[in-house]
Chains A and B, each alone.
Chain A
Amino acid sequence: MFSNKIKMILLLVLVALLISACGGTEEAATPEVFKVAVVMPSAINDLAFSQSMYDALLGIQTEMGAENFEFVYSESMFVVDDAAAAIRDYASQGYNLIIAHGSQYGSSLQEIAPDFPETSFAWGTTVDTFGLPNVFAYEARSEEGGYVMGVMAAMLSESGIIGVVGPIETGDAKLYVDGFAAGVAATNDAAQVNSNWIGSFSDVALASEAAQTHIGAGADVMTGTAQMVVGAVGVAEENGVLWFGTQSSQTSLAPSIVVANQVYRWEVVLNEMIELIKGGTYGGQSFLITLENGGLVIDYNPAFTLPAEVTEAAGAAIDGIIDGSIKVTP
C-alpha cells in the first residue's frame, strides 16, 4: 500500500526520534530496550488519574535511562472502543508491556490478551487478571490515604462540616471517599461529611458550584477526586477553605489552602512488573499500591503549617494502617 519512499521517510524519522531521545548521543538503541505503551482515559496533564501514570513512567525512564526504557501513550481515550483498537495495535507492534489505565478497558483487554501470549498487559484499577497468564492487574488502596486525610480533616475542621466533591460514586473515587469518611468518623464522630456526586468527570463549572454549596452549608474543609475538581480547588482558595487532594499533587493550584495530597506512585508496582516480565513472567498477578509499599504517599504541602498534633495523628494513622491495627474497610 505504501511506497518504499514513505517507508524510508518513516524509518528516518523514527531513527531521528530515537537519536534525540538518547540525548544527542550517537548510540543506537540496544535490542534489550524495554518498550511500554499506555492507553489513558484523560489527558496526561490532568493533575489526577492519567497524570499519575504519566509521571510514574517518566520517573522510571529517568531512573533506567532513555536508552533502556521507552514509552508511548494514547491519551484522552475515553471511547472504550477506540482504546481497544489502540491496545490491539500496540500489541501487534511488539511492545513488552501494554498498560490499559482505566477500569473501563477491562473487557477489551480480556478479549485481546489471549491473542498475544508473548506480550504482557496490565490494567487498572482493579484486582482482576481474568486468570490470564499475561495480564497483570493493579489497584490503589486509595481508601488508606483517604482515611489519613480524613483524620487530618476532622482535626482541622472547626465547624465540624466537611465537603466532598466526586464524579460518580464508583471505582477509585468511591474507595477514596469511603476511606476519607471513615477517617473523619474515627477521629470526630460528631463531624459531618457531605458528599456531592456531580455525575461527570469533566464538568468543572458544576464541580465549582458543588464546592460553593458545601461552603454555603458551613464546610471549612473539603476534598474531592477526579480531574474536574480543579474547579472546586479554585473556590476553596477564594474562600479560604482547606483542601485535600488525591491521585496527583494539586498543591501547585492553590499553595495557600492545600494541606496535603495522596499521591499515587505507580512506579512501585510497575517496577515489579518489569522485573517479572524480564524474568519471563508475563502476568497472572495483581498488585496494590498501599501506604505500606510506598505506592501511596501522603505529600504534605510545605507551604502550609500544619499543627504538630495533626501531623502526629496523621503519622499514627499511617503507622496504624501499615501495621494492621487500623483496618480501613470502605
Chain B
Amino acid sequence: MIDQLFTEAVLVGILASGIRLATPYLYASIGETLSQRSGVLNLGVEGQMLLGAFTAFYITFTTGNLWLGVLAAMFVGLLMGLAMAFVTINLQAEQGISGIGFYLFGLGMSDLLFQKMLGTVATVSGFRPIHIPWLSDLPIIGKILFSQNILVYGAYLLVAVTWFVLNKTTLGLKIKAVGESPQAADSLGVSVSRIRYLTVSVGGMLSGLAGASLSIALLNVFQQNMTSGLGFIAVALVYFGGWRPFAVMGGALLFSMVNSLQLWVQVLNIPIPSDFAVMMPYVLTIIALVITVQRVRPPSALTKPFERGH
C-alpha cells in the first residue's frame, strides 16, 4: 500500500500542492523574518493576514479587480504594521503580548466586517494558474513548477529579493545591525526606530498579501478565522529557517509538502488513524530541526525595545 505513494501522479500531486500551500506561509514568514531581523517579534501575523484576506476578497468581490484587491490587502496590512510599530517602538510595549492583542483585533475585526459587509460566504473568481508556455508542457516539473498562479510565483521571487536585500545591500546591513546591536547602529548614525518602522510595516504589508493569496488566489472564499493558525505556523517557520530567507522557504516547503503527503496518505487509504496523519507535518518539522541541530543564534536585540542613551 505504501508503494502507492511512489507513483508519478502522487509525487507530482504532493510537490505541486506543497509549492502552492507554502505560498501564504512564505509571504508571512518572509515579512516576519524582516521584522525579527531588526529586533521586533510580531505575533500578530495571523490577525494581519485575516484582515488582508477579507480586504482583498471584499474589494475583488465588489470591483472585480484582482489587483485592486491585492493592493488594498497590502494597504490594510501596512496600516496594521504601522500600528504595531508605533506600539512596540514608540511606546516600547512588550512585543509578544502586543502581537497577541493585534491578533485578537484582526481576528474579531475581519469577522465583524465580513458579517456586516458581506453577510454570507461567497466566492470570487481569483487569480488563475498561469501556464508558462513551453515550460509548463515539460513532463512532471511542468505541472509542479510552471502551472501556478501569479501570487505563487511572486512568493518565491520575494524570497530571492529578500535574501538579496538582507545580504547584498546597505539597507540589509542596517537591518541586521539594528537587530544585533542597536546601540552600535545608533552610534553609527543609523536610525533604529526608522529601520524598525520600515521592517515592521513591510512585514505587516506582506502578511496582508499572505491573506490575499489565500482569499483571492488559492481559495477564492472568505470565512471567519479562515487562516486557522496559519499565521502562527508562519512565525514558527522563521525560527525553523534561522532568520535566513532561503532556509525559511525550505521550512515552509517541508511543512506544506508533509501536509499534502498526509492528505495523500488518507486518500490512498493507508491505515493510519487520520488524527495521526494530521499530526505528521508538526512532528516532522520538529524532528527535522532536531536532526539538523542548528547553531543559529536569534538576533541579539530580538524583543528588546531600544531607547537612546541606554
Contacts and interface: CB of A to CB of B under 8 A. Distances in A.
Interface of A: 43, 45-47, 76, 163, 168-169, 194-200, 202-206, 208-210, 212-214, 216-218, 227-228, 230-231, 233-234, 237-238, 252-254
Nearest to A48: B121
Interface string B252-295: 00000001100110111100001100100000000000000000
Interface stretch (B160-168, B186-194, B213-221, B243-251): B213-221
A228 B268 CA distance: 22
Contacts of A203: 228-229
B119 A45 contact: yes
A252 B122 contact: yes
Contact of B219 (A168, A200, A218, A231): A231
Interface stretch (B9-17, B27-35, B177-185, B197-205): B9-17
Interface in B119-148: 119-123
A238 B252 CA distance: 25
B271 to A, nearest CB: 13
23 contacts: A43-B224, A45-B119, A168-B275, A195-B274, A196-B263, A203-B228, A204-B221, A204-B228, A205-B24, A205-B218, A205-B219, A209-B260, A212-B13, A212-B17, A212-B20, A213-B260, A216-B9, A216-B17, A217-B267, A217-B268, A233-B221, A252-B122, A253-B221
Contacts of A195: 266-267, 274
Contacts of A234: 123, 219-221
Contacts of B228: 200, 202-206, 228
A212 B123 CA distance: 17
A216 B115 contact: no
A230 B120 CA distance: 11
B223 interface: yes
B59 interface: no
A234 B275 CA distance: 25
A194 B269 contact: yes
A254 B123 contact: yes
Interface centre among B115, B120, B227, B275 (most CB of A within 10 A): B120
A214 B266 CA distance: 10
Contact of A199 (B12, B225, B278): B278
A237 B17 contact: no
A230 B220 CA distance: 9
Contacts of A212: 13, 17, 20
A209 to B, nearest CB: 6
Interface of B: 9-10, 12-13, 17, 20-21, 24, 111, 115, 119-123, 214, 218-221, 223-230, 259-260, 263-264, 266-269, 274-275, 278
B87 to A, nearest CB: 27
Nearest to A237: B123
A212 B264 CA distance: 10
Nearest to B119: A45
Contact of A196 (B9, B225, B266): B266
A32 to B, nearest CB: 32
Contacts, number: 122
Given A47-B121, A163-B267, A216-B10, A199 B221 contact: no
Given A45-B115, A253-B123, A198 B278 contact: yes
A204 B219 contact: yes
A253 B121 contact: yes
Contacts of A163: 267
Interface centre among B220, B226, B259, B263 (most CB of A within 10 A): B263
Q: Which 7 A-B residue pairs are closest in the complex by CB-CB distance?
A: A199-B278, A216-B13, A197-B274, A203-B228, A213-B263, A202-B228, A204-B226
Given A45-B119, A197-B266, A230-B121, A209 B221 contact: no
Given A205-B218, A234-B220, A254-B123, A210 B263 contact: yes
A253 B123 CA distance: 6
Nearest to B12: A216
A198 B274 CA distance: 8
A168 B221 CA distance: 22
Contact of A209 (B111, B120, B263): B263
Given A230-B221, A234-B220, A169 B263 contact: no
A197 B20 CA distance: 20
Contacts of B226: 202, 204-205, 231
A209 B259 contact: yes
Contacts of A194: 266-269
A231 B111 CA distance: 17
Contacts of B223: 46, 202, 204, 227-228, 230-231
B275 A199 contact: yes
A94 B136 CA distance: 66
